[in-house]
Chains A and B, each alone.
Chain A
Amino acid sequence: SQQGEEDPQALSIQEGENATMNCSYKTSINNLQWYRQNSGRGLVHLILIRSNEREKHSGRLRVTLDTSKKSSSLLITASRAADTASYFCATVRNNAGNMLTFGGGTRLMVKP
């Protein structure tokens, strides 16, 4: 079952602009991860943030986590056309073994 809700569901921006995607979840978590999926392909892991972390950076990616609000955001700075993809957050819930629970995803289109 899907735990997370992501917004927006779709986002269209111009190359060079920043893209922000949000994810909310319902139960306590061990960590939260962001994945990217190109159309018709599998998912690729982008970044993981632990429940005791508030912010993390990786290249042009910045992830924040607010456990009090049960929400996370993914910021892609200086977007490129190649960033066009769907982005999913996924949570590892406490006491849920090694399952990932995925959000609904944000479809990002970056126009050249």
Chain B
Amino acid sequence: GAVVSQHPSWVICKSGTSVKIECRSLDFQATTMFWYRQFPKQSLMLMATSNEGSKATYEQGVEKDKFLINHASLTLSTLTVTSAHPEDSSFYICSARDWGTENIQYFGAGTRLSVL
């Protein structure tokens, strides 16, 4: 089956630093990847759609300069949380869509970000 690897699984950082999260599709090419944010006991909130070779499409209310997305290859998308603050602490999850699977998405294991 399609496997998506997300790294790191947990990161603690100081306020003001930047954190990069990687999302890799291991056994398929993903022209489109998605980044979600999830608060405790809540559903997933789509932050942005990442398209290989082009700029990401951000959802309303998501600051593109705060959450930098790069999708430089068909198997890798990165999310950089710039100048992180405690309110950015959350669970971030990426997913990738395997072409031709009726929009089934394959998810990474998530990254728990704690900003001190």
The interface stretch among A12-20, A38-46, A63-71 is A38-46
Q: Please tell me if the beta carbons of A33 and B109 are within 8 angstroms of each other in the complex.
A: no
Interface 1/0s, chain A 44-78, versus B by CB < 8 A? 11001010000000000000000000000000000
Inter-chain CB contacts under 8 Å: number = 60
Quick one: which of A50-108 are within 8 Å of B by CB? Answer: 50, 88, 92, 97-105, 107
Q: Is A99 touching B46 in the complex (CB atoms < 8 A)?
A: yes
Q: Within 8 Å CB of A42, what residues of B? A: 4, 6, 93, 95, 107-110
- Check if A28 is an interface residue, CB within 8 A of chain B: no
Main secondary structure of the interface of A (DSSP, over half): strand
A2 interface contact, C-beta 8 A: yes
Q: Which residues of chain B are within 8 angstroms of A27 by Cβ–Cβ distance?
A: none
A-B contact sample (14 more), CB < 8 A, given A105-B42, A107-B41: A2-B45, A30-B102, A33-B103, A33-B104, A42-B95, A42-B110, A48-B102, A88-B44, A97-B49, A98-B49, A98-B103, A100-B46, A102-B44, A104-B43
B residues at A contact (CB < 8 Å) = 4, 6, 32, 34, 41-46, 49, 91, 93, 95, 97, 102-110, 112
> From A6, which residue of chain B is reached at the shortest CB distance?
B43
